[in-house]
């Protein structure tokens, strides 16, 4: 291990929140080092398919968006954070466009969809690979910036020094004035321990949260893990795949073994997931060919035109497995997906430990105990930008 690397801001994590924080900190004049557990491309954000929310509709507003978040969280979200999230959403979309993200458009405006828990059409998409489009654009901007990137350098140790922080990231020692933790959640590890399927990348194992807790950082709602209502149940190649919730936005509905609707298919995620669990428990579900529990998602109700624009990746994957979702319903069952809670932060992303910041899935409060779809990528970008700027100011101040 050589001489320590000196930086104003160390960012831990290369998903959307870490990339946004690194760009924001650098723009604020900070010397930035970004450490990733594996390659820079390895993250959950790139797997996010459904889209990103922002109030652009004529009948919509940031206030209505905030009300939907509050209701979907069952009145557990931190409304100070929610108001930041929704008020800065439109500007964040334009910021992403400035980095080259091209959202799907229709009739001269954004192609907006209504997603689960939402009262308005508010979901912007890049086909069904929105997370990949966002992380690719932001990663390209980071790689073109002055930020130092440290791939395959997982955070192993973190401690305070007189002037800030010292971290061991893989084979590197990094000294920094402030640290931004953007390392995501722990659902891959949780799924392994429970013997369940998960949508998560293998890197989502939660060590960085534990490091922060040992340093004295406070957390909230860490027990509140979210199931994605529509995990792929068959064919085997789709098990653990998160079927885009835009399938339901464009007309797909959930059906039991008798082909009857049993829940509001556009309800909040936890409500829809629980309805599926209950239907199966009460003997009205179906079994996949390999014996897994499931219900039907009737995707035949989606128009081919909508599917071609908003679900091309899903169609390719299912058709490669011998199933055409536009010709026959597909089997689905909830799959472990997201860590709702996390480290407690203020509106600038600072944890309860001075100089230690957090953004993205590792942070708690914005979603309360249940997250609306389309708000994770938004949270990553809104609070990644805020947190990077605040960390730079802390380090330089």
Annotated active-site positions, please? Answer: 269
What does DSSP say about strands 342-344 and 293-298: parallel, antiparallel, or unpaired?
unpaired
Query: What burial letters (b/e) apply to 299-325, b meaning 16+ CB within 10 Å?
Result: beebeeebbebbbeebbebbeeeebeb
CA 72 remoteness from chain centre: 16
Tokens of 287: 């079994």
| Contact call for residues 209 and 221 (beta carbons, < 8 A) | no
């Amino acid at each position: 291990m050589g001489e320590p690397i000196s930086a104003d801001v160390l960012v831990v994590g290369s998903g959307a929140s870490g990339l946004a924080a690194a760009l924001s900190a650098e723009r604020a004049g900070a010397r930035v080092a970004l450490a990733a557990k594996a390659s820079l491309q390895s993250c959950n954000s790139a797997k996010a398919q459904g889209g990103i929310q922002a109030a652009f509709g004529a009948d919509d507003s940031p206030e209505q968006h905030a009300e939907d978040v509050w209701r979907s969280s069952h009145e557990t979200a931190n409304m100070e954070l929610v108001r930041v999230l929704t008020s800065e959403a439109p500007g964040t979309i334009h910021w992403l466009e400035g980095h080259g993200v091209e959202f799907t458009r229709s009739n001269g405006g954004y192609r907006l969809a209504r997603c689960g828990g939402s009262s308005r059409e508010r979901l912007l998409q890049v086909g069904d690979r929105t997370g990949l489009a966002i992380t690719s654009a932001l990663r390209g901007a980071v790689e073109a910036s002055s930020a130092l990137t440290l791939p395959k350098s997982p955070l192993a140790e973190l401690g305070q020094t007189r002037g800030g922080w010292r971290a061991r990231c893989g084979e590197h020692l990094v000294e920094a004035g402030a640290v931004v933790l953007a390392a995501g959640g722990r659902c891959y590890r949780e799924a392994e321990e429970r013997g369940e399927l998960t949508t998560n990348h293998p890197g989502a194992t939660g060590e960085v949260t534990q490091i922060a807790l040992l340093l004295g950082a406070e957390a909230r709602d860490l027990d509140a893990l979210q199931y994605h209502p529509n995990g792929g149940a068959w064919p085997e190649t789709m098990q653990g795949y998160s079927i885009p919730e835009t399938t339901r936005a464009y007309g797909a509905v959930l059906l039991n073994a008798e082909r009857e609707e049993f829940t509001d298919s556009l309800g909040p995620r936890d409500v829809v997931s629980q309805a599926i669990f209950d239907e199966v428990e009460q003997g009205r579900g179906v079994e996949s060919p390999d014996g897994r529990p499931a219900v039907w998602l009737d995707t035949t109700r989606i128009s081919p035109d909508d599917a071609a624009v908003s679900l091309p990746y899903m169609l390719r994957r299912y058709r490669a497995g011998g199933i055409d979702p536009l010709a026959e319903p597909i089997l689905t069952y909830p799959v472990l997906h997201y860590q709702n809670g996390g480290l407690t932060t203020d509106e600038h992303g600072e944890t309860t430990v001075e100089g230690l910041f957090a953004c993205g899935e590792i942070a708690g409060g914005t979603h309360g105990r249940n997250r609306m779809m389309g708000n994770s990528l938004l949270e990553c970008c809104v609070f990644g930008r805020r947190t990077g700027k605040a960390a730079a100011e802390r380090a330089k101040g």
